[in-house]
Structure formats: C-alpha cells, structure tokens
Structure 1
Amino acid sequence: MEQQEARVRTVLGDVPAEELGIVYAHEHLIIQGGLGVMKNKDLHLNSVEKAIAEVEDCKRLGARTFIDYMPPGTGRNAAALADIAKRTNTHIVAVTGFHKPMYYDDLHWIYSYSIDQIVRLLVAECEEGMDRHGYNGPYVDRLAAKAGVLKGASDYNAIHPVSAKLLEAVALAQRETGVPIATHTEHGTCGLQQIELLMKHGVDPGDVIICHMDRNPDLYVHKELAATGCYLEYDNASRIKYHPDSSGVGLIRGMIEAGYGDRLLLGTDFALRSYWKAYGGGPGMAHLLETFVPRLQAEGVAEADLDRMLRSNPARAYALRPTKRSGRTS
C-alpha cells in the first residue's frame, strides 16, 4: 500500500508537513479578550498589526510556521489568525480544546455538557471549521479555517476533575479526527499523568506534545516522559525570572545525549504584551532564532540536532494521524 503524504492542518488549509520549514512550536499571536485578560491585562494581545510585526521579525531569520495555542472561549480569534497567515505568507496552525480552569467561570458549559457533546464540538472545529465566536454562543458561525491541534491542560501538580473530563473529550476527538494533541502543563508538572490519562482513552503517546516542560528542568523526569514516545515542547528561553538560559541549554544537551533529540520542539509561548517588541516590551519573538538557537550552537548542539528541533520534529509532531474511524488521515 502506498504511504500517504504527511499533512498538517493550517488555518488556510492542509499543507504537506515537509513545507512547514522552521516552526515556532508554541505561540500566542492573538488573545482578543476573555476571563484571562480580565484577570491580567498583559495577556491582551489584540492587535493584528502588532502580531504581523512580530511574525515578520521572525521571518527575517527563517521562520515559516507558527502554532497558535489559544483555544476557543479564551480569546482565540480564528478569523484574525487566517488574516495574519495570508498577510505574512506563513503557515499558522490553530487549536481547539481547552486551557486550565482559571480561564472559565463556574457557569461555563465545560462543567455541564456531556463528554459526547464536547467531543462533537471539537470534531466539528477540526473537520468543518472553527466557530468565529469561539463557542461563546448561542449561535455558531463556522469559518473555512479548521483547527489543527487539540489542546488539553492541567494545573500545578494536579489534574482536577473538569480537566480530566476535558482531556478525555480531547482524546476521543483525536481518535476520530487524527488531529494531534498538545497539552499545557503548569510549571512542567503532571506530564506523565496526562500521558497516562490519554493512553487510558486510547491515544498513542506519539500523537501527543507536552508543553512547557522546561519550566521543570529535571532531566530524569524529561527522559522518563520522552521514553513514552511523546514530544516535549520547550519555551522558557529568556525567562530569567524562572531559570537562566543555561538551564535550558543543559537540559537540551542532556536530552540529546540521552537519545531523545527527536522528541524536542522549541517555541516562545510569549503570551504577554510585555514580551513583545511590537507592544514596547521584550525580548520579542525573534529572540528564539536570533539569540537562543545561536547559543545552543555555540555550546555544542550540532546543526543536525537544531534542524531536528526546528524542522523535522515539529513536522512529524503536528502532522495529521491515521484515524481510528477510517484508517486514513482526515
């Protein structure tokens, strides 16, 4: 049987995975509002023009693809993401799914809808088109743009009941659509527990990306997690308030030496205005390619390993999977 070409679902349509180029593996280009912004105004990334400025700054260094991680109902603007993709001539992948509970009030439908109802909403966003209004209801206005990642989340050292429910829904939607799963970990905790929960519901760890793990730079834990076959996404570079960049460099070198260089992805997760040059902050999204990657190279990380982390690993990690429904990628 002829093997199908790996494809990634972007907001402008499915593209061959090999065309992604250098991938910024975990970003926030637009956060137009929501409960998170009400709690922290620094999260209000509502300017398409400023997002374009940051993307263009990364493009001059070779970036080609950006994975936007804001799920519906938390400030995602799918129409704006499609606009940014068109105007910058880049690939942008959007997510559907859920963030941690702090982004939802206690009357939100995540608490009252059944798992099956939630699965149907997720599948529709992946296969029919994302809701322009992020399922804030009551009417649904589907765009042509589809979601290419299913997101789940947990809290610091705990997966609360509602998060476990949502992770189950994400797992079932992944099995039906073939769209990969990515998860938020709070300070790099509960990664193994997330994998165990997703596996319980039939997900292959190779279809999962565990994010923010370098917030917890414990090499033993990272090797244990990578041994399951999942991908680990690192995005702590420049956040000296948590760890110096030497911590991330050492962690990456340790993972490569342990044989897990094919499991690593790099992003910035710059979800605050104060991180963007376009809003008057810094260091700006270009920091990843302009400063951190050259440091990795200066400290002995081989060009082939850098290429894996920036190109081939994300091309595999974000590609559509064969579905349990049809045996073919959707």
Structure 2
Amino acid sequence: MTDRHSPPGPLRTVAGPLPASAVRGPVLAHEHLALDLARGGDRTATLTAPHRPAVTRELAALRAGFGLALVVELTCRGMGRDVRALARIAEESGVAVVAGTGWYHEAFHPPEVATADTGRLTASLIDEIEHGCDGTGIRPGVIGEAGSHGDVPSGPERRTLTAAARAAVATGLSLATHARLGRGGLAQLELLTAAGLPPHRISVGHQDLLDDPGVHRELAAAGAYVAFDTVGKEGYQSDAVRLRLLLALLEAGHADRALLSCDISRHGYLADAGGGGYGHLFRSFLPRLRAAGADEELIDGLTRRNPLRFLTGGEPR
C-alpha cells in the first residue's frame, strides 16, 4: 500500500502505468466520458456511443488550448461504465484517462450489492483492481465515485463504502466519493477512516453544492480532499457561490486540499450541445479565480499537483 511515507507510484491509466512526473498540464479530477444513468429515470443523463466523437473532440481541443493532460473518470459500477470506450477516447484525444471502480449511491446499485456481504464486495473490487474491468484487462486507477445520498449512508451504502475503503487499503488506490448535493461528507469520512483508509487517500465529492464553509474546513483539517467538482452546473449552484466557498477554504489555509472539476454527466452539458463542457473550468471559472487574486502557482496546485497527490497518496511539500 502506498502511504504518505512511501514514494508515490505511477498512475494507473486506461493505457497502462503513467509516472505522475509526466503529467505536466492540468487534471480534471472528477469527470464522466462514458456513462448511462437513464435507469434513474432521466434519459438525458447519458454519454453513450453517439456522443463519443464530441467528447473526444472536446478533450483534444482542451489539450491543445489549455494543456489538459489527464481526466479522472469516476463512472463506476451501475453507472454504465465502458472502459473500452475510455481507452479509445484517451488514444484519440491524446489525454490520459484514469478509470474508476466501486458503487454509486443506492438508487444505482446493481443486483450484486443486495446479495453480497461486505467481505464479498471487497473481494470483488480487489479482483477488478488487480485483473481489470469487465474482462478487458484495463485496470482502474481510483475507486469512485463511491456514493451515498443523504446525511448518513443507508445500510447498503455503508456496505459498499466500507468495501471500497477496504479495497483501497488493500490495493493502494485512493477513493473519491459522491455526496449527493454535498450532504453527508463528514459521515462518509468517518465511515471510510473507520475502515482503515487514511484521510489523505479520500476526496469528498460535490462540496461546492454545500454552502457550509465550516464543513469544508473540517474535512480539509482532517486531511481529506474537498472536491469542488460541479463547476459550471448553475442549475445546482451558481459559480459565484462556488468561488466564494473556494476562496473561504483557501483563506483558511487549505489550498493543498481542494480539487476542481466540472462533473459532465449528460450529453446536454457537452460544448457541441451548447453546454459549458469540460472546458468551463478553464474558460470561465479559473479566470474569475485569477481575478480574485489567485496566482499561477496556486492555479497549478489546484488543477495539477493536488489531484496527482490525491491519486498517488503523496503529501504536500
């Protein structure tokens, strides 16, 4: 297991190992490139085969325009994961991709969850991490987005989150969560650390949807990463509020614990469809952050060094 006292190992991408030192440009810490959430009742919550060319074009353009180097793709079991598609997108766009594993929140749990105890779930994840996803040999490089949907995880979510934490401990992967509307992050952290996973291997998701700087400070002070990962989703939260919350976390001294991304989770968000796309972070939000006083060293920390340190288990210098 990689920990804060060990030299960080290479990233596990869909194309194989990649030294973190080779990632010279920004990283999107929480995205979706291929998913299908239509089973939740929303047929627009898809990024399937017809959308692959648009996804690939966007990533290639961001690589050319902003140096985008890596996408952490957090589509896991029950979300329509397609690691073969991720491999094609990575190859054609020139942007490295890390694939995920684990289970989303309860509404999207596949049947395997209902019939398995925590031990079997843990063993299933470890097998996938060691041997590859869905018979492809493509190994996930992160666990996530491991989900819960309320202030405390439900019974099935406790089992899947505990299994995810145990698998992370056993394999050395880090773990990114889905905290619906930002709620329940502290409960997630408590459960995951109780299963033996150190806080610096945990990213608590969707905290930009929770207007509570005190919770953000508490998560960061404990050593976890605080994900502001729905940037541009104005229907959930305005970017003005996101910026205020991020600045509060930075001013509290936790610049080394913040992660940024856009969480593109339906085809209507793509630039080709008129949405902000994966590039909204670079085109809109980061210029506003710079205008608020952020220098390029801070921007590089938020968009490159922090996500790489999260993935590899390193600690800030």
| TM-score, structure 2 normalization | 0.92
> Which segment drifts farther, 199-208 or 2-11?
2-11
Residue 258 (structure 1) aligns with: 252
2:283 to 290, 293, 296: 290
2:89 to 80, 84, 88: 84
| Identity percentage of aligned residues | 31
Q: Please tell me the residue identity of whatever aligns with 1:127.
A: E
Residue 231 (structure 2) aligns with: 237
Residue 57 (structure 1) aligns with: 61
Query: 1:28–1:7: structure 2 CA closer, same or farther, 3 Å change rule?
Result: same
Residues matched between the structures, number: 305
User: Does the Cα contact within 8 Å between 1:34 and 1:73 map onto a contact in 2?
Assistant: no
Which deviations, in whole Å up to 9, do the C-alpha atoms of 1:186-235 show, x marking residues without a partner?
11111111111111111101110111101002111100111110101112
| TM-score, structure 1 normalization | 0.88
Residue 138 (structure 1) aligns with: none
Residue 156 (structure 1) aligns with: 150
Residue 101 (structure 1) aligns with: 106
Q: Please tell me the residue identity of whatever aligns with 2:172.
A: G
Instruction: State how 1:180-329 maps to structure 2 within 5 Å.
Output: 180-278=174-272, 280-319=273-312
Q: Please tell me the residue identity of whatever aligns with 2:103.
A: F
Q: Please tell me the residue identity of whatever aligns with 1:254.
A: A
Report how far residue 145 of structure 1 moved. Answer: 1.1
- Secondary structure of the corresponding residue to residue 76 of structure 2: coil
What is the CA–CA distance in structure 1 between the aligned matches of 2:187 and 2:8, rounded to whole Å? 32
1:69 to 61, 70, 74: 74
Which deviations, in whole Å up to 9, do the C-alpha atoms of 1:282-313 show, x marking residues without a partner?
12211111111111001112221111000110
Report how far residue 320 of structure 1 moved. Answer: 5.7
What is the CA–CA distance in structure 1 between the aligned matches of 2:8 and 2:221, rounded to whole Å? 26
Which deviations, in whole Å up to 9, do the C-alpha atoms of 1:3-48 show, x marking residues without a partner?
6353211111121112233100100101146623xx1111121132
Query: 1:5–1:190: structure 2 CA closer, same or farther, 3 Å change rule?
Result: closer
User: Does the Cα contact within 8 Å between 1:273 and 1:281 map onto a contact in 2?
Assistant: no
Residue 134 (structure 1) aligns with: none
What is the CA–CA distance in structure 1 between the aligned matches of 2:237 and 2:163, rounded to whole Å? 34
What is the CA–CA distance in structure 1 between the aligned matches of 2:8 and 2:277, rounded to whole Å? 34
Report how far residue 269 of structure 1 moved. Answer: 0.3
User: Does the Cα contact within 8 Å between 2:200 and 2:313 map onto a contact in 1?
Assistant: no
What is the CA–CA distance in structure 2 between the aligned matches of 1:302 and 1:169, rounded to whole Å? 40
What is the CA–CA distance in structure 2 between the aligned matches of 1:73 and 1:22, rounded to whole Å? 28
- Secondary structure of the corresponding residue to residue 265 of structure 1: strand
1:10 to 8, 13, 16: 13
1:121 to 109, 124, 142: 124
Aligned residues: CA RMSD: 1.7
What is the CA–CA distance in structure 2 between the aligned matches of 1:5 and 1:94, rounded to whole Å? 18
> Which segment drifts farther, 53-62 or 206-215?
53-62
